[in-house]
Amino acid sequence: AKKLGKGQFQFYTESLNVAARDRLALDSALRRALEQDELYVVYQPKVDARGRPFGFEALVRWDSAEFGSVSPVRFIPLAEENGLIGQLTWFVLRAACHEAARWRAAGHERLRVAVNISPSLFREKDLAALVRSVLEEAGLPPGNLELEITEGMLMGDVQRALAVLDELKAMGVYIAVDDFGTGYSSLAYLKRFPIDILKVDRSFVLECDQGNGGLAITRAIVSLAHSLNLRVVAEGVEKQTQLAVLNALGCEEFQGYLFARPLPAAQLAGYLDEKSPK
């Protein structure tokens, strides 16, 4: 047993080393990816109950020459730690705003594009100035852009977050709180910040068509949002039964595999021709 114990210990430290080495390699690969063309953006529709699009969420993808396709769940946290998140967000924001400007030019003047904003960006960068310069460059009106922030951002340096969000709001950019219900924001925060949209986290959507409290929680979230005059988006809708419940509760927008997976930019024109003909 002693020997086994030692072996296990060695195995443990070795795998830690491997993890650290992997991380370093991934880190430098991500730096290169930002310079070479390995990152790109896909767009997932947000639709009404009949499937007509209000807009799209921009989601970053990384096809690495070295690691193959890497999930954002893995490299976004890494980018937050190694300081690359600013560059990465700028890349996604630019791609998304230029893309939305093309939709407008094709006659879809009201479609919004939503971009995910990491909490760390709020603390370090002048986000409002960055957004303004990208909108100007792309020629996109602020009303066609939505920023998805998380509850965590509303904690921390509240004064700073408020100042940045107020400035964005004054420009006319829409603000959505992502993954709502999974963080720790209080109702007081929700009321205090200039938020337009609340995205109900997928974990609640997953259970909203089941007994054991799933429906009750979703109903509570939706009615809270509506009492604060927020628009409600349900994310991760996969089943017709979930859609039926969410629609009955008064959710305004739906996003999920039931309607569409994230699409490459090249497929959007065809999608819009079909779902939102001009």
> How is residue 137 written in tokens?
């460059």
Task: Report how far apart, in Å, the C-alpha atoms of 38 and of each of 60, 63, 185, 241 are.
Answer: 10, 6, 35, 38
- CB 146 to ligand C2E: min, Å: 12
Considering CB under 6 A, how many residues would be counted as binding ligand C2E?
20
- CB 121 to ligand C2E: min, Å: 8
Where do the H-state alpha helices sit in 53-180?
Answer: 72-82, 85-105, 119-124, 127-138, 151-154, 158-171
* Contact criterion met (CB below 8 Å) for 52 and 276: yes
* One of 38, 47, 62, 116 touching ligand C2E (CB under 6 A): 116
- Rounded CA separation 174/113 (Å): 10
Residue 101 interacts with ligand C2E (CB under 6 A)?
A: no
- CB 82 to ligand C2E: min, Å: 14
CA-nearest of 193, 200, 191 to 233 is 200
- Rounded CA separation 216/64 (Å): 43
Q: Which stretch binds ligand C2E (CB under 6 A): 14-22, 26-34, 67-75, 268-276?
A: 67-75
Residue 71 interacts with ligand C2E (CB under 6 A)?
A: yes
The secondary structure of residue 184, as a DSSP letter, is -
Residue keyed to tokens 């939505």 = 146
Residue 148 interacts with Ca ion (CB under 5 A)?
A: yes
Name 145's Cβ contacts closer than 8 Å, sequence gap at least 6.
96, 97, 100, 112, 113, 114, 115, 131, 135, 173, 174
Residue 146 interacts with Ca ion (CB under 5 A)?
A: no
* One of 29, 47, 92, 153 touching ligand C2E (CB under 6 A): 92
Q: Which stretch binds ligand C2E (CB under 6 A): 28-36, 128-136, 158-166, 229-237?
A: 229-237
Q: Which does 12 bind (CB under 5 to 8 A by kind): Ca ion, ligand C2E, none?
A: none
* Contact criterion met (CB below 8 Å) for 225 and 233: no
CA-nearest of 218, 227, 215 to 187 is 227
- CB 70 to ligand C2E: min, Å: 10
Residue 179 interacts with ligand C2E (CB under 6 A)?
A: yes
- CB 7 to ligand C2E: min, Å: 37
Antiparallel, parallel or unpaired: β 231-235 and 253-255: parallel
CA-nearest of 115, 141, 108, 143 to 272 is 108
Quick one: 63 or 109, whose CB is closer to ligand C2E? 63
Residue 69 interacts with ligand C2E (CB under 6 A)?
A: no
Residue 242 interacts with ligand C2E (CB under 6 A)?
A: no
Residue 73 interacts with ligand C2E (CB under 6 A)?
A: yes
* One of 44, 144, 185, 218 touching ligand C2E (CB under 6 A): 44
Q: Which does 246 bind (CB under 5 to 8 A by kind): Ca ion, ligand C2E, none?
A: none
Which residues of this protein are in contact with ligand C2E, per CB under 6 A? 44, 59-60, 71-73, 76, 89, 92, 116, 118, 178-179, 235-238, 256-257, 262
